[in-house]
Structure formats: C-alpha cells, structure tokens
Structure 1
Amino acid sequence: MSDLFEFGKSILESQPFSKLIGAELTLFEEGSAEISLVVKDDLKQQHGFVHGGIVSYLADNCLTYAGGSVLGDSVTSEYKINYVRPAIGQKLIAKSSVISHGKTQAVCDCKVYALNNDTEVLVAVAQGTINKANKPKN
C-alpha cells in the first residue's frame, strides 16, 4: 500500500461520522478515490433503500478525497448530486476522479453505485469543486 493510501485511511479514521456509519477507503491515488460502505438497516429510510443523506455523504467525501489527492489538505467548496435510482443493495461504492485542477482548486466527478448480488448499479452522480484548505491564522 502506498503512503498516500495509508495517509488517506488515517484521515477517514479521524472523521467521527465516517466511523459511525462504517465508511471504508478502498482506493486513494493521485487523481482518484473510492469509498465503500456496507448497507445496514440503520442507514435506510422508510421505503427500504439507503437514505439520500448517506448517498450524498459518500459523494461529498469521495469528491474531496479525489481533489485532495492533487491539492493536499482540502475541503468541499460546492457540489451537486443527482439521484438516478434508489440505493438498494448490500454495499455502496463511491468512485471519484479529478476532471481538472490548478494549485488551489480541483473540479471532480463522482459516481455512486449500489452493489447488488455482484452487480454495480448506478444510484447517483455528483460533481464538485474542491479547494485547498486555508489554515486559519490566530
């Protein structure tokens, strides 16, 4: 495993919400990232599929990981998500990549899939702008 991947895992481990829901970084290399999540009943809404907030979390975090892979410490400036079908399956997998970047900003895209009996089904697409984090001055 690369130093970048190990660093990325340590960042995810430091995020209380990511730990709470069981998110796992499965790929982190320059220009791309992948985060997966085993679907539990606690993550579903009243219709039996994964709540949109969880799907959105995966897209947001994965977009920021992809952007951070080329910018360093980063935060989401904005993103848009389209839900294309209900998230039904045993696992969700977010896959993000950098479309374009400069020194302080990256534009990334993300696709979120539900893994259902070894078949990936697209459930959401997102695009976001990721900015290099500015450390506040005291």
Structure 2
Amino acid sequence: MSDDPGDSLEFARATLAAQPFSRLVGARITAFGGGRAVLEVDVRDELRQQSGYLHGGVLAYAADNAITFAAGSTIGSAVLTGSVSVQYLRPALGRTLRAEAHVVHAGRRQAVCDCTLTMLAPDGTETICAIARGTVLTANDKPSART
C-alpha cells in the first residue's frame, strides 16, 4: 500500500458512503488495501426475495463493489466495473453477507479480481453462497449529473 490517501480504509469508507445505492443497501467496508477489499451487508427484510433468501441482486451488487474496491487499491481510485460474472452456489441465508475480493492480476489500466460471497449465521457459521470474477478499468472522466 502506498502513501496515496486513496489507499486508506478511511478513504474507501468515504467513497462507499458517497454512493447513494450503497447507503440504501446499508453496505460497509471492513477491510481495504493491498489488492483486497471486504464489503458487508446486514440482511433485512427489504433485501430478501419472495422465498426469504437474500436477493441475488444484493449478492451481485456486493461482488461488484468489493471487486471494484479491491482493484482500486492497486490501479488507482478512479475506476469503473468492466464486467462481473456471479455464480450462485446455494441460497443465501444468514444475518450478514460478506463479499471478500482480491486482485488476481493488475495491469496499468485493468485489474481482474475474484470474490467469495459468504453468509454469516447468527451462531457464527459461515456458508459460501456465491463466487464472482470481474474486471475493473481505470476511468479518467467523471460523469456529469443527469436529470
């Protein structure tokens, strides 16, 4: 990790807090830096699908954001998702979703990351419910606000 303020956990938390959708979901970053990021979301009824499992879209969101933060810790904080592929392994049941991402390869303008999505039960049991892989690209332009 460099001395760049974009490499700090505090910077990552501030960046996440600036994302309206992340605030809506209630996501938090618990680890960041050195090509790694951990994002957590506490399960609540609004995030479940009709059978009571955590909605797959929440898992995909968590994978996408964890992957992007992990990549950003190596290729710079101005990044955008290039692609994300999620493989759902089992229904997501538990109290907290944890998305742990790490960089597999980083170049000058692109990083490839893997992510493991685990559900934490109230008794502390951990169950892997999905895995993901994504590419993240450096971005030079900030998008303009649209109405």
**Same topology, TM > 0.5:** yes
How far 1:134 sits from its partner (Å)?
Answer: 2.1
**Is 1:53 paired with 2:39?**
no
Which 4+ runs in 1 deviate beyond 3 A? none
User: Match for residue 77 of structure 1?
Assistant: 82
Structure 1: any 5+ residue segments left out of the alignment?
A: none
User: Match for residue 21 of structure 1?
Assistant: 25
User: Match for residue 125 of structure 1?
Assistant: 131
Structure 2: any 5+ residue segments left out of the alignment?
A: none
**Is 1:66 paired with 2:70?**
yes
Identical pairs, percent: 42
**Is 1:88 paired with 2:93?**
yes
TM-score by length of 2: 0.89
**1:44-85, CA deviations, whole angstroms, 9 ceiling, x for partnerless residues?**
000000000001000000000011000111110011100000
How far 1:137 sits from its partner (Å)?
Answer: 9.8
Amino acid at match of 2:139: A
Give the number of equivalent residue pairs: 137
Residues 6 and 136 of structure 1: CA distance in aligned 2, closer, same or farther (over 3 Å): closer
- Aligned-partner SS, 2:13: helix
Once superposed, what is the RMSD of the aligned Cα atoms?
1.6
Q: Output the CA distance in 1 between the equivalents of 2:83 and 2:47.
A: 24
How far 1:39 sits from its partner (Å)?
Answer: 0.3
Q: Output the CA distance in 2 between the equivalents of 1:19 and 1:40.
A: 14
